[in-house]
Amino acid sequence: MNKLIHSAVLFSIILMASCQQKPSEKNDTSNENASVYYGGDIITMEGDSAQYVEAIVEKGGEIVFVGSKEKAMKTAGDNHKMLDLKGKTMLPGFIDAHGHVFACGIQALAANLLPPPDGKGASIADLISLTKEWVSKNQKIIDKVGWIIGFGYDDAQLKEKRHPIATELDQISKEVPIMLLHQSGHLATLNSKGLELAGITEKSLDPAGGIIRRIKGSKKPEGTLEESALFGPLFKVFAKIDSSGNASIVKAGLAAYTKYGFTTAQEGRASGVVCETIKKMAVAHELPIDIYAYPDIQSDMEYMLKNGTQANYKNHFRIAGVKLSSDGAIQGKTAFLTKPYKIPPLGASKDYRGYPAFPDANAYNALVDAAYKNNWQIITHCNGDASGDMYIKAVRLAANKYGNKNRRSVMIHAQMVREDQLDSLKALAIIPSFFAMHTFYWGDWHVNETIGKERAYRISPAVSTLKRGMIFTQHHDAPVANPDAFRILHATVNRVSRTGEIIGADQRVSAYIALKSITAWAAYQAFEESLKGTLKAGKLADFVILDKNPLKIPPMELNTLKVIATIKEGKTVYEVK
């Protein structure tokens, strides 16, 4: 873009001063000057189709007027600032319908092993080389944590089409334990030292809801751990990080979020320790945007019983509900399906369907029951349709027992939700939060390897949901993918794979509907529709300014959009340098 225009826009935005409090906590702003935004495409996201206004007035961190430029200037009063958008596009700030801002920070600080186009991890040799390079520059992190950590490798995209094994990671180090986390976050590979410290040997049994992969023809661990087999070693690593280290991780995650226009971030599977870290940061006014957290209901039940949920933010943080996980990842072949995988994992039978995170259905149902009993919103990870059946049954039992008014329970991912299951979701008022980015990142893998064409083409069935008069949200699930709002839009609208195949043309929606899924509908899912999601008087002045209008460019160019500035309650928290 023209550098002079770019500088003018940013200079105007930088000048803004604002109050960092919600309407329920606001101070007297009568002496503050208002700001008038004008001169670009301002899309309110109100209604079923695009509505544009000439101007918006912000004062004290709130929107006080939306409408014509002439009336805006009168409403703004004396000494107001005029902020010319110079033809750029303004939208409500994006809302994270599901992600992990803390883990996103870990991704930002660990060795980047993501495959192209987000990284350079295209082969096992690349993983080894990239990790070695990271080790040479991050000895302080290694000394503090005691482990070498990499994140984001994907066997589906590696040249070898398999996970690295322990002996290969021993090329990086035989003395320091190594953990390379799979892009899904549901698997990892450890080196020999890592397996030793984790206490994983030939005698180790597979834990409930997890698998220790073995060298073919033996019981010797190969290095790859699935699901619950991974969590023990993983929690030991993170337990060594102190509060200052955790705060640094949160800050790194937030920096990634604001870069893509998010003014509200989710910590979608929080621990009590992470919640306390973010809470301390909030008290110290170190959170530039809102974070709403969902502690794990299984591991942090005691924490939730003690702390409960909060309807309102305090210095940009609140505990919003609880998270439950039902199964694993389709791309990792650990999601729980009703029909077998097209090609099962090595050593598995042809009838392999994945497995549930909770083999004991009663234990699973009891956790959903606890959420309803305590009036906690519950968001539940369900990738496979068999895990979806589990969740629907558990919600029905709890709803019949405690009532279902305004629960807004969420089925996270809902990748393989069937038509009959959508009917059940509607009846139980469960909101599906889809992960359409799978169509790009793993669309080809799903067609050829995991679930076959018929099932793959129905992944994240947005149109089927709309036909039932339901809303849905879309998410990035960072750090599974970067917290990239524009890849969400691109995938939701186009559903194009890495090779250019359209993964379910009949489930594509318009760019406006895709935007609704990360603004107005995401706000509703979070019980925040009175404050966020649309540009309306009385709501927070949460804005994103884009270089182009997503409704006026070719759909295949949606992933080229750039954020000029991210504005939280009138304060610029990110800007293009």
pLDDT for residue 527: 98
Output the pTM of the full model.
0.89
- For 327-372, the pLDDT digits (tens) are 999 999 999 999 999 999 988 999 999 999 999 999 999 999 999 9
Q: Which two tokens stand for residue 374?
A: 């305590």
pLDDT for residue 359: 93
| 38 occurs within a structural domain | yes
| 55 occurs within a structural domain | yes
Question: How far apart are alpha carbons 316 and 289 in whole angstroms?
Answer: 6
* Lookup result for tokens 């096992």: 124
Question: How far apart are alpha carbons 571 and 325 in whole angstroms?
Answer: 36
| 544 occurs within a structural domain | no
Q: What is the 3-state secondary structure (H, E, C) of 217-244?
A: CCCCEEEEEEEHHHHHHHHHHHHCCCHH
Confidence of residue 22 (pLDDT cuts 50, 70, 90): very low
* CB-based burial, 297-327: b 16+ in 10 Å, e otherwise: bbebbebbeeeebeeebebbbbbbbbbbbbb
- For 400-432, the pLDDT digits (tens) are 999 999 999 999 999 999 999 999 999 999 999
Confidence of residue 30 (pLDDT cuts 50, 70, 90): low
pLDDT for residue 144: 81
The pLDDT of residue 29 is above 70: no
- For 287-307, the pLDDT digits (tens) are 999 999 999 999 999 999 999
Give the single-character DSSP code of 559: G
Confidence of residue 13 (pLDDT cuts 50, 70, 90): very low
CATH of residue 15: 2.30.40.10
- Greatest pairwise CA separation for the chain in angstroms: 80
| 21 occurs within a structural domain | yes
The pLDDT of residue 9 is above 60: no
| 122 occurs within a structural domain | no
Question: How far apart are alpha carbons 85 and 41 in whole angstroms?
Answer: 8
| 485 occurs within a structural domain | no
What average pLDDT does the segment 19-30 reach? 42
- For 121-174, the pLDDT digits (tens) are 999 999 999 999 999 999 988 888 889 999 999 999 999 999 999 999 999 999
| 61 occurs within a structural domain | yes
**Packing angle, helices 272-283 and 243-259, rounded to 10:** 80
pLDDT for residue 107: 85
pLDDT for residue 238: 73
Please tell me the total count of domains within the chain: 1
What average pLDDT does the segment 17-46 reach? 69
Look up the domain containing 73 and give its range. Answer: 3-93+567-575
The pLDDT of residue 21 is above 90: no
What average pLDDT does the segment 209-233 reach? 89
Percent of the chain with pLDDT over 90: 84
What average pLDDT does the segment 378-391 reach? 98
pLDDT for residue 31: 60
Which residue in 368, 380, 372 sits closest to 326, CA to CA?
Answer: 380
What average pLDDT does the segment 463-481 reach? 96
| 73 occurs within a structural domain | yes
Residues 56, 37: contact at Cβ < 8 Å? yes
Which range has the top average pLDDT, 133-142, 225-234, 557-566? 557-566
pLDDT for residue 91: 98
What average pLDDT does the segment 461-482 reach? 96
